[in-house]
Amino acid sequence: MMVFKFGGASVNSVDRIKNIAKILKLYPSESLVIIISAMGKTTNALEKVAESFFEGNTEKAFQLFEEVKQQHLTTAQSLLPKNFFLCKDDLSSFFTEAEWLLHDKPVRKYDYYYDQIVSIGELLSTCIVSHYLNEIKITNTWLDVRDIIRTDNNFRDATVDWNFTASKTGNLEFGIGNTKTINDKPQTIYITQGFIGATDDNETTTLGREGSDYSAAIFANLLNAESLTIWKDVEGVMNADPKQFLDAQLISELSFEEVIEMAFYGAQVIHPKTIKPLQNKKIPLLVKCFLDASLQGTIIQDKATKQLPPIIVIKENQVLMHLHSQDFSFVGEKPMSFLYTLFEETKIKPNLIQTGAISVQICLDNMAEKLDELAAKASSIFDVQLQKQLTLITIRNYNKEIIEKLLKDKKVLLQQQTTNTFQALCF
């Protein structure tokens, strides 16, 4: 069995959804589990719905959600001349799921409502793609991933219950479902969602932004897949974001170790949690271009790579938290232990930490509610100040020239470097 993951850019138009079918026809005899993200921009649109709802602006929330509904209905109608109404019935059940919630008053934390609303995007996109493939005789079985991936209730960054999830994916491994055909060759195709799971109480959770890659890696691991292929709108893994750097280079081969480092520092091409399930079973990860499947792409495997170009990761919207001991005592073992306990409690991962004699500086993603909670708890032993709207620049395999180029006209607030990695927080 092979696992494919198609991101939001690959399903953001009628033509691109049709292109998925063209790709699948290149694999006529493979058994496939296909993970699909929300259509491009849908996640952002649903985030605005969740924000409006939580702020008490119900009218705006419904208005924004109506725009999402109409976009998906229009797409489905364009793709499905024969079976649009069957698809519409299925879509309506997901619309209703969100609308019931929007009629309520928020009484829980924002992250809970975020997961219930934003997760609808993946359910809608997979519903449409599944119906479309069935209509053009690429028969498939649609699965609600919430019946398969079990998680805890840490909304927006849930932890997977691997034992329960393994018991559910075992059925797929043996082809229980519909064995279908493309070009008269046996094939089993499952369509399901990335990014989401569910708790024991059947409350929807999400696995963190970009979590669809992680979902695909979970399936690949538990199904002992031959490979995982992530289909993207770029040629493969680049040494920098091609939208920010026009001279970005393709990297044709990477080791698991190097990609783990890239992911740790925030490279968006691969989700930070994606690599470990693959590395544990030595399952190769292919990153290929869905716009031109003939391109080589990138293979990531359990093999060392040398002579890599500088790899650049830019993280915007960063916050620098300045912590200063209230009585000028040294920041020793107990204050630092206290801080790491707070990171665990608030589920926050620092991007950079620098300690001094009586102070600590921490670079963090700007997640407002969690950041406020961390600052409030830290203020019990520290004076706390926040500096926002900063940029964290990370360069793997750096050289003097690339550092000078990237830091030109910038003011550096915090800087660290090792033999392989350079980091600067600046504005």
Looking up residue 65, the CATH number of its domain turns out to be 3.40.1160.10
pLDDT of 333 reads: 81
Mean of the per-residue pLDDT values for the chain? 93
Tokens representing 309? 């170009």
pLDDT, greater one: 167 or 175: 167
pLDDT at 77 over 90: yes
Are 210 and 327 found together in one domain? no
- Give the whole-angstrom CA distance, residue 240 versus residue 246: 9
Which domain-ending residue is among 201, 233, 265?
Answer: 233
Q: Average of pLDDT values for 379-391?
A: 95
The answer to whether residue 145 sits within a structural domain is yes
**Any idea which of 255-269, 377-391, 406-420 has the lowest mean pLDDT?**
255-269
pLDDT at 112 over 70: yes
Q: Average of pLDDT values for 293-299?
A: 96
pLDDT, greater one: 141 or 271: 141
Are 25 and 129 found together in one domain? yes
pLDDT of 171 reads: 67
pLDDT of 176 reads: 41
Are 48 and 182 found together in one domain? yes
Range of the domain at 123: 2-233
Q: Assign 182 a pLDDT band (cuts: 50, 70, 90).
A: very low
Are 215 and 348 found together in one domain? no
The answer to whether residue 245 sits within a structural domain is no
The answer to whether residue 268 sits within a structural domain is no
- 231 neighbors 36 (Cβ within 8 angstroms): no
| Nearest alpha carbon to residue 143 among 177, 179, 96, 180 | 177
Are 213 and 319 found together in one domain? no
The residues with which 43 forms a beta bridge, in sequence order, are none
Are 222 and 326 found together in one domain? no
pLDDT of 377 reads: 95
The answer to whether residue 299 sits within a structural domain is no
The answer to whether residue 261 sits within a structural domain is no
Q: Average of pLDDT values for 8-25?
A: 96
User: What's the sign of the alpha-carbon dihedral 19, 20, 21, 26?
Assistant: positive
pLDDT, greater one: 421 or 330: 421
**Any idea which of 52-56, 189-193, 209-213, 288-292 has the lowest mean pLDDT?**
209-213
- Give the whole-angstrom CA distance, residue 1 versus residue 32: 6
Are 316 and 222 found together in one domain? no
Tokens representing 25? 């026809």
pLDDT at 271 over 90: no
Are 56 and 205 found together in one domain? yes
User: What's the sign of the alpha-carbon dihedral 164, 170, 172, 178?
Assistant: negative
pLDDT of 177 reads: 42
Helices 84-102 and 110-118: crossing angle, nearest 10°?
Answer: 170
Q: Record the pTM.
A: 0.80
pLDDT at 223 over 50: yes
Are 320 and 197 found together in one domain? no
Are 407 and 321 found together in one domain? yes
Q: Average of pLDDT values for 253-263?
A: 91
Residue 156 burial by Cβ neighbours in a 10 Å radius (0-12, 13-18, 19+)? buried
pLDDT, greater one: 40 or 181: 40
For the chain, give the percent of residues with pLDDT over 90: 83
pLDDT at 47 over 90: yes
Which domain-ending residue is among 200, 233, 266?
Answer: 233
Are 22 and 117 found together in one domain? yes
Helices 368-378 and 333-346: crossing angle, nearest 10°?
Answer: 150
The answer to whether residue 297 sits within a structural domain is no
Q: Give residue-wise pLDDT tens across range 121-136.
A: 999 999 999 999 999 9
| CATH number, residue 359 | 3.30.2130.10
pLDDT at 180 over 80: no
pLDDT of 273 reads: 83
| Nearest alpha carbon to residue 237 among 209, 207, 274 | 274
Q: Assign 284 a pLDDT band (cuts: 50, 70, 90).
A: very high
Q: How many domains does the chain have?
A: 2
Q: Average of pLDDT values for 190-213?
A: 94
Q: Cα-Cα-Cα-Cα dihedral of 104, 110, 111, 113, to 10°?
A: 20
pLDDT of 179 reads: 39
Are 203 and 342 found together in one domain? no
Which domain-ending residue is among 233, 260, 285?
Answer: 233
pLDDT at 178 over 80: no
Q: Give residue-wise pLDDT tens across range 318-374.
A: 999 999 999 888 888 889 999 999 999 998 999 999 999 999 999 999 998 899 999
The answer to whether residue 293 sits within a structural domain is no
The answer to whether residue 190 sits within a structural domain is yes
